[in-house]
Amino acid sequence: MLLRILASIAIDQICFLELSSDEVIDPDFAMRQLESISAQLAALEPVEIETLVSLIRETAEDQVSAERREFISKIPDYLGLTEK
C-alpha cells in the first residue's frame, strides 16, 4: 500500500512538472526537478524498480484521459527506469 501511494505521488508530480504550461511553472525548474526525481528513483534496487514500473503501468491503464494514459505509460522510459 505504501509503495502504491508513493508511486501515485511521484506520478502526479511528474505529470505536473511535465504537462504544466510555462506560465504555471518555470521550464528550467521543472527540468531540474524531473532530473532529481529520475536520479533518486535510479538508486532503487532492481526489484524495487520493477515494482515501481509495474505500478506506473497499472496507473496508466486506469486513466480515463487517453492523453494522460499515454504520458503516464511512458514515464518509466522517460526517467530511464527501463532498458531500451
Domain-embedded: residue 83: no
Domain-embedded: residue 49: yes
pTM of the predicted protein model: 0.87
Domain count, the chain: 1
- Residue pointed to by grid coordinates 506506473: 56
Domain-embedded: residue 50: yes
pLDDT value of position 84: 53
Domain-embedded: residue 20: yes
pLDDT value of position 2: 87
pLDDT value of position 21: 94
Can you give the residue range of the structural domain that contains 51?
A: 2-78
Collapse the DSSP code of 23 into the 3-class scheme (helix H, G, I; strand E, B; otherwise coil) and give the result.
Answer: coil
Domain-embedded: residue 51: yes
Q: Which triple of cell numbers denotes residue 84?
A: 531500451
Domain-embedded: residue 57: yes
Domain-embedded: residue 84: no
Q: What is the pLDDT of residues 28-46, one digit of tens each?
A: 999 999 999 999 998 999 9
Regions of the chain short of the pLDDT cut 50: none
